[in-house]
Structure 1
Amino acid sequence: MIDKKRQKRVLSFLAKGAANVRAGASNGRILLDAGDRGVIGEEAEVVSSMAKEELLAIKGGVACLTDVGKKAVRRLEMPGDAAHAAQHQEREFVTRVTKLGTERGISNEGESPLALLWRRRDRSGRRFLDEREYCAGERLRMDYTYGQIMPRLGINWSSLGGAVGKSGWGENGSEDLSTSALAARQRVELALSEVGPEFSGILVDVCCFLKGLETVERERNWPVRSTKVMLKSALSALARHYEPEARARDAGGQILHWGTTDYRPSVSR
């Protein structure tokens, strides 16, 4: 079994640039020579496995990271729970057909905290989250990931939508985003604004940063199992934002007002 720590060492080395591949002094070892940046030795089996996983490519005796490898390096740079979650998930872009049309987003083959909670049932077989709540959380995560909003940037949620053309976004700045990615960022900003500051924090922690419920409770000094209830309320508010027509159905399809049933507003000309 290949040691993942050794793969990380190679990833970190090649993240700074390509390196020439040379034979090592002993059998089964190779050297990655990056000139002024130095030389590291590694088992040929480790490098070969990374090439099979498409983390790196070797052409003409030169090793360099692939797009998959670069994404792996970015995951290594994430702090805490976000890095741990990313290392245990396989993310890829997918296209989904929803009631609102076709949407492009991220699919995780691994389990997110929200997916784990969605699968839980009580003794009567009922789910804790309903389908609307779960789909709302997944939709927020898709926009968050596709919008290239990374935890290490220290996002200022109040300025997401108005940051076009301004500095301070670093390598993932809005000036570098595609139109669709920028639109995803704006959808995240709008959704978090609609649910309010009481709910936005827990939605970001669980749906976007993929933190476990116990981790959120520990970090926020909340009572045990309180996060579960808080999250359901937050997802319910998020679902109402995404599906306002469902909110109207819940009200019986009627427009609510304070007047009597025969009330009619007067129109002055």
Structure 2
Amino acid sequence: MKQQKQVLAEREIGSEGPRKGTGVHRRQRSVTVNLAESPASWLHARGHLDDRLFQAAELLRMDYEKAQLSPSLTMRWDPVRVREGQAPLNSTERQIAAKDRFHGAMEQAGKGLADILWRVVCAGEALPGVEKQFSWPARSGKLILKFALERVADFYRVPG
């Protein structure tokens, strides 16, 4: 198994949420989660995806997140950081560029394969659930995902 980077975060669980400033000391339940974990990283760590396909999945997921295509409930207040001495793209231009790359990669994958890419790589759904939703035979999703990731790797020019 390959070692993957971990980004650990402590998350409180329960329906009430955190209590602030009440003076009541209750025992809180929490869980540690790995924010860097995704279905693609899980498959890569177990040898089901090679390095090229995993890198393609991560590039697609990164563009999806940079383009801010996921549903949002509130306004974004992200600060804009600019390095001195360079003329970098502003946040809007970076978002548009990521969106163009994402849509180009999905178009390269093709209409039939874009669905599994979006569900597994971007939305983080597990392969068995995707296979059930599409009424595919068990364990066929892995093969179809590999076909889709091959096309995405070609789009991003990931070396083979």
| TM-score (normalizing by structure 2) | 0.69
1:128: which partner in 2?
Answer: 48
> How many angstroms does 1:209 deviate by?
0.3
Match of 1:112 among 38, 44, 47: 38
1:212: which partner in 2?
Answer: 126
Letter in 1 for 2:38: S
CA RMSD of aligned residues (A): 3.0
SS at match of 1:217: helix
Distance 2:136 2:72 in 1: 24
> How many angstroms does 1:151 deviate by?
4.7
| Cα gap change, 1:141 to 1:22, in 2 (>3 Å) | closer
Distance 1:6 1:187 in 2: 40
Deviations 1:135-177 (A, max 9, x none): 0001000111121111579xxxxxxxxxxxxxxxx957xxxx6
The question of 1:6 aligning with 2:16 is answered: yes
Distance 1:138 1:215 in 2: 21
Larger C-alpha radius of gyration, 1 or 2?
1
Distance 2:97 2:16 in 1: 38
2:62: which partner in 1?
Answer: 142
The question of 1:198 aligning with 2:112 is answered: yes
Letter in 2 for 1:115: S
Distance 2:111 2:72 in 1: 21
SS at match of 1:6: coil
Equivalences for residues 61-140 of structure 1 within 5 A: 88-90=33-35, 108=36, 111-120=37-46, 127-140=47-60
Deviations 1:186-221 (A, max 9, x none): 110111111111211111111100100011011111
SS at match of 1:223: coil
| Cα gap change, 1:219 to 1:22, in 2 (>3 Å) | same
Distance 1:184 1:5 in 2: 36
Structure with greater strand share of residues: 1
| Cα gap change, 1:4 to 1:182, in 2 (>3 Å) | farther
Equivalences for residues 160-179 of structure 1 within 5 A: 178-179=92-93
The question of 1:225 aligning with 2:139 is answered: yes
Distance 2:50 2:117 in 1: 16
Letter in 2 for 1:141: R
Give the structure, 1 or 2, with the largest relative contact order (CA under 8 Å, sep 6 or more): 2
1:39: which partner in 2?
Answer: none
> How many angstroms does 1:129 deviate by?
1.9
SS at match of 1:144: helix
1:165: which partner in 2?
Answer: none
Aligned length, in residue pairs: 132
Deviations 1:73-98 (A, max 9, x none): xxxxxxxxxxxxxx9443xxxxxxxx
**Tell me, which stretches of 5 or more residues in structure 1 are unaligned?**
11-20, 30-43, 50-86, 91-107, 121-126, 154-169, 248-269
CA contact (8 A) 1:133 1:235 kept: yes
> How many angstroms does 1:45 deviate by?
5.2
